[in-house]
Amino acid sequence: MLQSKALSLPTGLENGWDSFEKLVQTHERALYNFAYRLTGDPEEAKDLTQEAFYRAYKNYDKFTPGTCFDRWVYRIIHNLYLDHVRKNRKIRQESLDNPIRTSEGDITRELADNSAGPVEDYESLEFQGVLAKALKTLSPEFRAAIILCDVQGFSYEEISHILNCSIGTVRSRIHRGRRQLRELLQPYLASSSERR
Amino acid sequence: MMDCTRLSHLLSAFIDDELDAEEKRQVRQHLVSCRQCNDLLDQLKEVRCLLGRLESIKPYHDFSALVKEELSHSVTIEFVPGNHKVISRGLMLAAAAALIGIFSMNGLVRNAKPDGYAQENPQRKVQVVSDSPTEAPPFTDRHYYFPVTLGNGSSSAWSIKSVVAGQNPATIFDDTSSGFYELNLFPSGQYR
């Protein structure tokens, strides 16, 4: 009887599954968060992250030694997500009126609350929901660049490698994304309320 | 002197310290005299700062365990030269490959009846796995067909010798009279 090839050693992964498992454990939180901020949905993020790790394992022979494993998986996640969006054109561009799902429950608060002022509690569920919701209104390309820069802290050069685009494109996406967010988050900006 | 339109496009990169020395000098020079761009700069800084406040979510999943579980459902199909001929455009490639080609696919195999899932979900059908048994299947779906027909037993003909899913033989519809092997691999997530 044939044995499954399921856990056979991918080329380049010298210590096999154990090595891969360590890589997953080291990077899973950051990668899951990237997927979560991209999709805005915890279950979708889990599915996306799992598939990205799965493909990373199966295609490990395509990984360039000496480069960062996590950057490679970020790229897989991003490509999978864009493919998914393109295949599902009907996928909703998040309406500001729709509730957003978070791991702690749905956030239904309106985004632009004109009575809102500078934020006093950044960790509040309410404000976290407002931020997540604003992020979700950006196009997938802008959103990915913004998450990688402002949430994950990558340099423009690192982002250009992950997103497979020029640094000029990264610069443009980040700036345009931030300008859109500035409009959406206007009521919460201290520099805005000072002038009101 | 830079105008506001051109300068404003550089402000985010200025905040992120991603401009070259000359660009930085020009931006600083412009900011000395432009209130509007200073306001925009302040607000962009604040947006960046707010995004940095997004909390890191701890995933409630053991991804290595999930991937390992998925890998355990892998399917291995062994092709051997035989009395059947695999109909595919890549037959020549197949024949030129090793005498025995091992072709691994991944997914969940269940209820692989001749007219079960395929009829209920015709939109998910993917005709022909690959051009040759030694090529990787497309990752876009996990529902595959193996068109096979009776051949003359020439040495270049191929047939499927066995299919193993995990440690178990997969259910495979083997109806050579109608010319099809059919294997249903069910996608279990929207990114698969």
Cβ contacts of B45 within 8 Å, gap of 6 or more = B15
The 10s digit of each residue's pLDDT in A31-90 is 999 999 999 999 999 999 999 998 898 788 888 888 899 999 999 999 999 988 887 765
Chain B residues whose beta carbon lies within 8 Å of the beta carbon of residue A179:
44
Task: Report phi then psi at A61, rounded to 5.
Answer: -65, -15
Supply the angle between the helices B35-51 and B21-33 in degrees, to the nearest 10. 120
The predicted structure's pLDDT at residue A155 = 96
Nearest CA in chain B to A40: B57
Q: Which pTM was predicted?
A: 0.67
Cα A82 from Cα A89, distance rounded (Å): 11
- Asked if the Cβ–Cβ distance from A44 to B139 is below 8 Å, we say no
Count the Cβ atoms, other than its own, within 10 Å of residue A126. 12
| Confidence class for position A4, pLDDT limits 50, 70, 90 | very low
Give pLDDT tens digits along chain B (192 positions): 457 888 888 999 999 999 999 999 999 999 998 999 999 999 999 999 999 989 899 998 899 998 887 776 554 444 444 433 333 333 333 332 322 333 333 332 222 222 333 333 332 222 223 333 333 333 333 334 343 332 333 323 344 444 444 434 443 444 333 333 444 343 345 665
Q: Is B181 helix (H, G, I), strand (E, B) or coil?
A: strand
Mark whether A22 and A103 lie in a shared domain: no
- Asked if ipTM goes beyond 0.90, one says no
**pLDDT of A136 over the 70 cut:** yes
The CATH code of the domain that includes A150 is 1.10.10.10
CB-defined contacts A:B, below 8 A: 160
Q: For A103-123, give one letter per residue: b (16+ CB within 10 A) or e.
A: eeeebeeebeeeebeebeeee
Task: Give the domain extent around A65.
Answer: 1-90
A71 and A122 assigned to the same domain: no
- For A48, the closest of B12, B169, B191 (CB atoms) is B191
- Rounded CA gap, A74 and B55, in Å? 19
What is the nearest CA distance from B90 to chain A, expressed in angstroms? 23
Structural element, H or E, at residue B145: strand B143-150
Least confident span in A77-86, A109-118, A131-140, B19-28: A109-118
The helix (H) or strand (E) run that includes residue B104 is strand B101-105
HEC secondary structure over chain A: CCCCCCCCCCCCCCCHHHHHHHHHHHHHHHHHHHHHHHHCCHHHHHHHHHHHHHHHHHCHHHCCCCCCHHHHHHHHHHHHHHHHHHHCCCCCCCCCCCCEEECCEEECCCCCCCCCCCCCCCCCHHHHHHHHHHHHCCCHHHHHHHHHHHHCCCCHHHHHHHHCCCHHHHHHHHHHHHHHHHHHCHHHCHHHHCCC
A158 and chain B: CB distance < 8 Å anywhere?
no
Give the distance from residue B152's alpha carbon to the nearest chain A alpha carbon, in angstroms.
26
Indicate the residue among A44, A60, A90 that finishes a domain.
A90
Final residue before a domain boundary, out of A61, A90, A119: A90
The count of domains in chain A is: 2
Confidence of residue A193 (pLDDT cuts 50, 70, 90): low
Q: Count the alpha carbons within 13 Å of B35 in the hemisphere toward its beta carbon.
A: 1
Q: B143: number of CA atoms within 13 Å, CB side?
A: 20
Which CATH number does the domain housing residue A6 bear?
1.10.1740.10
Closest CA to A50 of B189, B125, B186, B183: B189
Asked if A29 and B59 come within 8 Å (Cβ–Cβ), the reply is yes
- CA–CA dist B13, B8 (Å, integer): 10
The mean per-residue pLDDT over the stretch A88-94 comes to 58
**CA dist., res. A34 & res. B54, Å (int):** 11
pLDDT in tens, A150-187: 999 999 999 999 999 999 999 999 999 999 999 999 88
Residue A44 sits in the same domain as residue A99: no
Domain termination site, one of A66, A90, A114: A90
If you average pLDDT over every residue of chain A, what do you get?
80
Q: What would the mean pLDDT of A102-114 be, rounded to a whole number?
A: 49
Residue A126 and residue A81 share a domain: no
Angstrom distance (rounded) from CA B20 to CA B25: 9
